[in-house]
């Protein structure tokens, strides 16, 4: 058996078409969704990520405001900028690109963003809303993973066992909460979990979000399982790859996301979705 691909690029394109349609409807009402993106310093990877986010906004008629600041920017200066954007009615979402320079406390910065504009879904209020099932912004990467599951008919996960490998606050924990909200039974592990394979072989859904190559191999997967690969790594030849041994696992799994072309495109799409929802007053 060869797994069917969950094509994140194709799904992202479909969702962005709907986002663009809704943005046009808002524009007809005199509303323009606005996203402020703040980049501090000159981290090369961050510059690429920010450029992609700004371009994605342009493609769906969301106004983006990009602020570039020197790496010497102080924490107080950044907090002041966030405060100004919090009170700007033309801005519906605020994104501060991580990592930040060492003199700035990332947690303090994230918590300074108004929960009503936290379109990255990192604020403690967003996490709390997710935990108790109240409306709020969902963290973009796990939100994209859930949309991918929905695209293959897995919306209600009652009776399904999901294993999340990766315990970070950015992906692992919010991913687990979203799976729980969809009625799945969830186990959170990390790459050092004792007998990790015994856990993953029980799972109907495995989400690998560690940032380490070949964390999940074919012998660790139950036949027919859904495998979501969140990892972004480079192989020995410098080629982009995920956390999953794709060539091996695809011969066992029922569904699998590729890297690239899987979760990556969905992350930015869900950022656009959150910004649009903020403008619509739905979050």
Which residue numbers are catalytic? Answer: 53, 97, 120
Q: Return all residues near 247 (Cβ < 8 A) that are at least 6 apart.
A: none
Residues 8 and 263 sit within 8 Å (Cβ to Cβ)? yes
Token code pair at residue 170 = 């950015």
Tokens standing for residue 260 = 């690239």
Q: Which residues pair with 162 in a beta bridge?
A: 186, 205
Burial code (b: 16+ CB inside 10 Å, e: under 16) for 199-211 equals bbbebbbbbbbbb
Interatomic CA distance for residues 116 and 123, integer angstroms: 10
Token readout for 10 is: 């194709």
For the four alpha carbons of 112, 116, 119 and 124, in that order, the dihedral sign comes to positive
CA 216 from centre of chain: 20
DSSP states of 52-83 as a string? HHHHHHHHTT-EEEEEEE-TT--HHHHHHHHH
Using an 8 Å Cβ cutoff, are 171 and 209 in contact? Answer: yes
3-class SS at 226?
strand
**Are the C-beta atoms of 209 and 243 separated by less than 8 Å?**
yes
């Amino acid at each position: 058996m060869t797994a069917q691909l969950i094509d994140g690029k194709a799904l992202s394109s479909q969702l962005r078409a709907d986002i663009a349609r809704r943005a046009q409807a808002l524009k007809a009402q005199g509303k323009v969704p606005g996203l402020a993106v703040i980049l501090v310093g000159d981290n090369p990877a961050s510059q690429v990520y920010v450029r992609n986010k700004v371009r994605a906004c342009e493609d769906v008629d969301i106004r983006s405001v990009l602020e570039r600041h020197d790496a010497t920017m102080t924490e107080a200066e950044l907090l002041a900028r966030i405060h100004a954007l919090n009170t700007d009615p033309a801005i519906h979402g605020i994104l501060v690109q991580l990592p930040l320079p060492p003199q700035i406390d990332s947690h303090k910065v994230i918590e300074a963003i108004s929960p009503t504009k936290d379109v990255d879904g990192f604020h403690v209020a967003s996490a709390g809303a997710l935990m108790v099932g109240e409306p709020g912004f969902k963290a973009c990467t796990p939100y994209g993973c859930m949309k991918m599951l929905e695209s293959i008919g897995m919306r209600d996960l009652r009776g399904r066992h999901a294993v999340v490998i990766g315990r970070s606050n950015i992906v692992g924990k919010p991913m687990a909460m979203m799976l729980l909200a969809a009625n799945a039974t969830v186990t959170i592990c990390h790459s050092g979990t004792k007998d990790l394979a015994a856990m993953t072989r029980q799972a109907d859904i495995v989400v690998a979000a560690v940032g380490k190559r070949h964390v999940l191999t074919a012998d660790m997967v139950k036949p027919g399982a859904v495998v979501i690969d969140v990892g972004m790594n480079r192989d020995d030849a410098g080629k982009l790859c995920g956390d999953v041994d794709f060539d091996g696992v695809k011969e066992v799994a029922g569904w699998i996301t590729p890297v690239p072309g899987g979760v990556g495109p969905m992350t930015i799409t869900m950022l656009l979705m959150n910004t649009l929802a903020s403008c619509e007053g739905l979050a």
